[in-house]
Structures are given as structure tokens and as C-alpha cells.
């Protein structure tokens, strides 16, 4: 190898070390592809606060809502791959490719996988004046009102949409679905009685359940939750829908091509945040468990998303749901 080539490599190595030493040299933005105030936004804001403790720059949240989260995801796919624009997103990362015929980003190749953050059960909740005393009576009421039950969700591919889709097909129910830009605005209408039912993440539902403002009928995960406000709720599996199992996970992503050294620094800040006692306490208070396994590594995170893509494409195709 010629001396000039060695000098170039040495110069680039120095440059990258210097660049890494500076990173981040400006605020790090966590893009949330749903409206402010919803579960994804809440998780991102708590994560930003925890990551700030190990990064020498502010970590801020930016909401880019719409189209079931795909608008915000596309925004990050197109962002500069310098580590200052990241994405906090959930199961929609794995479901959008099966739901949307024209996506403006490619999965899984348009992203770097910084690690999985958490897993949360969803809850089957209704407007506060619902008369059904348990899930069995709610099921009868839904069957007796074909086409009249309004189910709220956050757009095609959102967690609430997928969970609502699974619920409708498991019940063989005919419900009218109402889309919002997030389950925060959807929750406002549920509390007001404008819509009847929603399948929403515990992150969003628990505070309303604790306040007695919505009625809880079941949780969607395979096991009951340990969180006090929802611990008494049966799983849908127990309540007559055998095999029903929907858990909503969130992950952290960077645009493809972000330098490996920057990815390593961001993964380190994520790992520290997931061990931060304040962050863990906030997540557990909402019935959410923090990830601590190999899905915190890029390969484990990416393989998990690819497996979820395969799982959900079967469910979505069977339900015949598509968006152009
Ligand atoms: C939100 O943050 O609004 C939710 O994640 C929307 C959804 O996916 O249901």
C-alpha cells in the first residue's frame, strides 16, 4: 500500500474519531409518527429525558403524524444519516409493508436498528357508559349491533388499528372504524362517548382506567398484566378468544448509512436509558416492560422486526386489508 493511501486512511480515521468525539454536536431529534400525547409520544418523551443523561446535547421529540405513522417513518428514512434524526416507532414498522402498496421507504433496508425499547399489552376499552358488565356481554352487544359499533384507531397500520382488526376478525364482528392521527385524539372522543370502543396500548389507557374514565374489558397479551389498574382484566385468550396475542413493541431507528461509530454511541445511550431507574419506573407504572435481551443489539433488533414482518403479513393478507 502506497504511503499516500496510508496517510489518507490515517486522516480519515482521525477525522472519524474527531467527528465521533463531537457527536452529537447539535440536539438529537426523536421523530414520533403519531400525534402528541399518545403512547408513542409518551414513550419517546420519557426516553428522551433518560438518553439526555448520557448525551452531551438536548434530546427532543418531534411529532410527524399521519397515514398510520408512515409519514413520520418516511421522514426519518430521508433524513441525513448523521445520527441527529432518529425514529421511535412501534409494531407499525413491521406491518406497514404488508398494508401499504405504495410506501415511500423500504423495509428493512432503509434503516439502522438501534435496539428494541419495550413491550406493552394493549387493552380493550370502551366509553365510560358502556352497559356490558364483562367481555362476554360486550361481545353480545357488538354482535347485536352490526355496523353500528364505532371502533377508534390511529390509522391503517397503527397499533390500535391492527389490534382492532384482530379483534374484529376474532369476533367475526362488523364494526365501523374511525381513524385519528393518534390514540390521544381518539381517546378524547372515547371519553366523550363519540366512539364506542378502542384497542389501545396500556401506555395510553392505564391513566384513564385509573381515573375511572373508560371501562376496561380485557388485555390483548398472552399473559395478564401485573400493573395494578389492569391486573384483574382477563386476557382475550381467557375471555373466549383462544390464541389471541397482541403485544405492542417500540424500537429506535436511524437512517441507513449512519456511521457505525455514531450508531455505537447511540446504542450505548439507549442501553443506559433502559437501565435508568426513573425510566424503568415510568414504564412499569404503565404496564410496560423494558427490553433487556439480544434485541438491544442491531442484529437481534433487525431479526425481530423481520420475523414480525413475516408474522403480520399473513394476518393482514388474511384480513384483506390494504391501502393504496
Ligand atoms: C399513538 O402513539 O398514538 C399510538 O401509537 C397510535 C397507535 O399506533 O395506535
Give the pLDDT confidence of 51-98 residue by residue, as tens digits: 999 999 999 999 999 999 999 999 999 999 999 999 999 999 999 999
Interval between CA 68 and ligand 1 midpoint (Å): 8
Interval between CA 4 and ligand 1 midpoint (Å): 53
Which secondary structure element, helix H or strand E, spans residue 88, and what is its range? strand 85-89
CATH of domain 121-219: 3.40.190.10
> Cα dihedral angle (240, 242, 243, 247), rounded to 10 degrees?
10
Among 37, 39, 91, which residue has the most ligand 1 atoms within 8 Å of its CB, making it the best to mutate? 39
Q: Say if CB 204 and CB 183 are below 8 A apart.
A: yes
Q: Is 203 in the pocket of ligand 1 (CB under 6 A)?
A: no
- For residue 318, how many other CB atoms are within 10 A of its CB? 10
Nearest to 86 by CA among 324, 225, 290, 269: 269
Over 70: is that where the pLDDT of 15 sits?
A: no
Q: State which ligand 1 atom lies nearest to the alpha carbon of 68.
A: 8
pLDDT digits (tens, 9 = 90+) for 209-264: 999 999 999 999 999 999 999 999 999 999 999 989 999 999 999 999 999 999 99
CA distance 150 to 40: 23
Domain 24-120+248-319 matches domain 121-219 at the CATH topology level: yes
Into which CATH architecture does domain 24-120+248-319 fall?
3-Layer(aba) Sandwich (3.40)
DSSP class of residue 276 equals -
Whether omega for the bond prior to residue 108 falls within 30 degrees of 0, making it cis, is yes
The percent of residues above 90 in pLDDT, for the chain, comes to 84
Among 37, 46, 63, 90, which residue has the most ligand 1 atoms within 8 Å of its CB, making it the best to mutate? 90
Over 70: is that where the pLDDT of 141 sits?
A: yes
Q: Is 158 in the pocket of ligand 1 (CB under 6 A)?
A: yes
Domain boundaries defined on the chain: 24-120+248-319, 121-219
Nearest to 163 by CA among 236, 64, 252: 236
The percent of residues above 70 in pLDDT, for the chain, comes to 93
Among 37, 69, 177, which residue has the most ligand 1 atoms within 8 Å of its CB, making it the best to mutate? 69
SS3 90: coil
CA distance 238 to 56: 48
Q: Say if CB 186 and CB 200 are below 8 A apart.
A: yes
Amino acid at each position: 500500500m502506497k504511503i499516500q493511501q496510508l496517510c489518507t486512511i490515517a486522516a480519515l480515521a482521525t477525522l472519524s474519531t474527531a467527528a465521533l468525539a463531537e457527536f452529537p454536536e447539535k440536539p438529537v431529534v426523536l421523530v414520533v409518527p403519531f400525534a402528541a400525547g399518545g403512547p408513542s409520544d409518551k414513550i419517546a418523551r420519557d426516553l428522551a429525558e433518560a438518553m439526555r443523561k448520557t448525551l452531551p446535547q438536548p434530546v427532543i421529540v418531534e411529532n410527524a403524524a399521519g397515514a398510520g405513522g408512515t409519514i413520520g417513518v418516511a421522514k426519518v428514512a430521508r433524513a441525513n444519516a448523521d445520527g441527529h434524526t432518529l425514529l421511535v416507532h412501534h409494531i407499525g414498522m413491521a406491518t406497514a409493508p404488508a398494508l401499504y402498496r405504495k410506501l415511500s421507504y423500504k423495509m428493512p433496508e432503509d434503516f439502522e436498528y438501534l435496539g428494541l425499547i419495550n413491550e406493552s399489552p394493549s387493552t380493550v376499552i370502551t366509553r365510560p357508559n358502556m352497559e356490558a358488565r364483562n367481555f362476554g356481554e360486550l361481545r353480545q352487544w357488538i354482535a347485536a349491533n352490526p355496523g353500528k359499533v364505532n371502533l377508534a384507531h390511529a390509522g391503517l397500520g397503527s397499533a390500535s388499528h391492527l389490534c382492532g382488526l384482530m379483534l374484529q376478525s376474532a369476533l367475526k364482528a362488523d364494526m365501523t372504524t374511525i381513524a385519528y392521527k393518534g390514540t390521544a385524539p381518539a381517546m378524547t372522543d372515547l371519553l366523550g362517548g363519540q366512539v364506542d370502543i378502542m384497542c389501545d396500548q396500556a401506555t395510553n389507557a392505564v391513566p384513564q382506567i385509573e381515573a375511572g374514565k373508560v371501562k376496561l374489558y380485557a388485555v390483548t397479551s398472552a399473559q395478564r398484566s401485573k400493573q395494578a389498574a389492569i391486573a384483574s382484566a382477563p386476557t382475550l385468550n381467557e375471555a373466549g378468544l383462544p390464541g389471541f396475542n397482541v403485544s405492542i413493541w417500540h424500537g429506535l431507528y436511524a437512517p441507513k448509512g449512519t456511521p457505525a461509530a455514531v450508531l455505537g454511541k447511540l446504542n450505548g445511550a439507549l442501553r443506559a436509558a433502559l437501565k435508568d431507574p426513573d425510566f424503568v419506573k415510568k414504564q412499569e407504572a404503565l404496564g410496560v416492560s423494558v427490553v433487556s435481551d439480544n434485541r438491544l443489539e442491531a442484529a437481534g433488533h433487525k431479526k425481530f422486526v423481520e420475523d414480525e414482518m413475516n408474522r403480520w403479513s399473513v394476518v393482514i393478507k388474511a384480513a384483506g386489508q390494504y391501502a393504496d
